Copies of this chain bind each other. A is one copy, B any other.
Amino acid sequence: MSQKTRINSALSACIARAQGHGRKDVPTKLAQTLSYATTPGGARIRPTILVSVALACGDDQPHLTDAAATALELMHCASLVHDDLPCFDDADTRRGKPSVHKAFSEPLAVLAGDSLIMLAFDELARAAHAAPDRGLALIRTLSDRSGMPGGICAGQGWESEAVIDLHAYHCSKTAGLFVAATQMGAIAAGNDPEPWAELGLRIGEAFQVADDLRDALFDEGALGKPVGQDDRHGRPNAVSELGARGAMSRLNDILGGAIASIPSCPGEAKLAHLVRAQADAIVPRTVATAFK
């Protein structure tokens, strides 16, 4: 079974449970939003990193790893549903289909996000019976990287401040769930999460630079015409700072650092290979080729 199949299968079992497995005494539309908001899955990058770290550490409690991957993806999907709301990004589409509030309604989008957050913790608590201490550590790590004062909610909260602390903003909003991914993978397999934080932070940083590259090079449909396009919040951007070639080079440095930070573990080499493969996936091949 591929990692993606493993992740999607655990996730869809969890969603079916939250939908009441076809029970009649469940509000149908809200139940529908839960699968709508979590499919199609895109690359499932965060849970893939989580499972890869768990495998590198031995994955001796695969059921707990599955629950951790599911919980992390639920939290990510919840954040997308709420970020798309009219009061934030007011996004009409997401992953090539109408956003949840467009397809259903704004009340149902708020409730869908809330329900997915609750379901994430529920999934971890249910899977934890065989290893309660790991389960509790997983719950704490997920809440740390999601809520206040330093998780993705805090990151989003910075956008309401007159002056943004850019370091705190990136650590929380951009890197938060990547750090959760590496640390939760380690915890699920019974390892100390601390040494795994740096890998998550660096992957988060790499994603930020890759996003900047995509913004600058693709959104204007002008590959090869890398005008330094400041993002709409007026925040610094790797491409406007360094140019496209400089940003590609920065990205490669970050990835090198990410791979160097991988703690010693049985599956270290395989994990390094995977980080490199994920990096290739996030930077469109055409860009990578143009700026090699």
Of all chain B residues, which has the CB nearest A158? B27
Of all chain B residues, which has the CB nearest A87? B106
Which of A119-147 touch B at CB < 8 Å?
Answer: 119, 121-122, 124-126, 128-129, 132-133, 135-136, 139-140, 143-144, 146-147
Complex Cα distance A129/B134, Å? 11
**CB-CB under 8 A for A128 and B118, given A87-B107, A157-B29:** no
* For the complex of A and B, 10 pairs with smallest distance between CB atoms: A30-B157, A118-B147, A27-B157, A20-B149, A122-B143, A132-B132, A87-B106, A25-B168, A125-B139, A121-B121
Number of copies: 2
Inter-chain contacts of A159 with B (CB < 8 A) = 107
Instruction: Give the interface centre of A114, A154, A165 by most chain B CB atoms within 10 Å.
Output: A114
- Residues A128 and B136 in contact, CB atoms below 8 Å apart: yes
Complex Cα distance A29/B85, Å? 20
- Residues B160 and A108 in contact, CB atoms below 8 Å apart: yes
- Residues A148 and B25 in contact, CB atoms below 8 Å apart: no
The one of B113, B147, B161 that contacts A18, using a Cβ cutoff of 8 Å: B147
- Residues B114 and A153 in contact, CB atoms below 8 Å apart: yes
Query: In whole Å, how far is A79's beta carbon from the nearest beta carbon of chain B?
Result: 8
12 contacts between A and B (CB under 8 A): A19-B148, A26-B149, A27-B158, A27-B160, A29-B157, A30-B153, A87-B106, A88-B107, A108-B160, A117-B118, A118-B146, A136-B136
Query: In whole Å, how far is A291's beta carbon from the nearest beta carbon of chain B?
Result: 33
- Residues B165 and A25 in contact, CB atoms below 8 Å apart: yes
The one of B104, B122, B125, B153 that contacts A115, using a Cβ cutoff of 8 Å: B153
Inter-chain contacts of A148 with B (CB < 8 A) = 18-20, 26, 30-31, 34, 115, 118-119
Of all chain B residues, which has the CB nearest A17? B149
Inter-chain contacts of A85 with B (CB < 8 A) = 110
Of all chain B residues, which has the CB nearest A146? B118
The reply on A28 being an interface residue by CB < 8 A is yes
Complex Cα distance A105/B110, Å? 15
The reply on A46 being an interface residue by CB < 8 A is no
**CB-CB under 8 A for A82 and B160, given A132-B133, A149-B18, A168-B25:** no
- Residues B143 and A125 in contact, CB atoms below 8 Å apart: yes
Of all chain B residues, which has the CB nearest A161? B27
Complex Cα distance A113/B153, Å? 10
Complex Cα distance A18/B23, Å? 37
Complex Cα distance A165/B132, Å? 37
- Residues B107 and A110 in contact, CB atoms below 8 Å apart: no
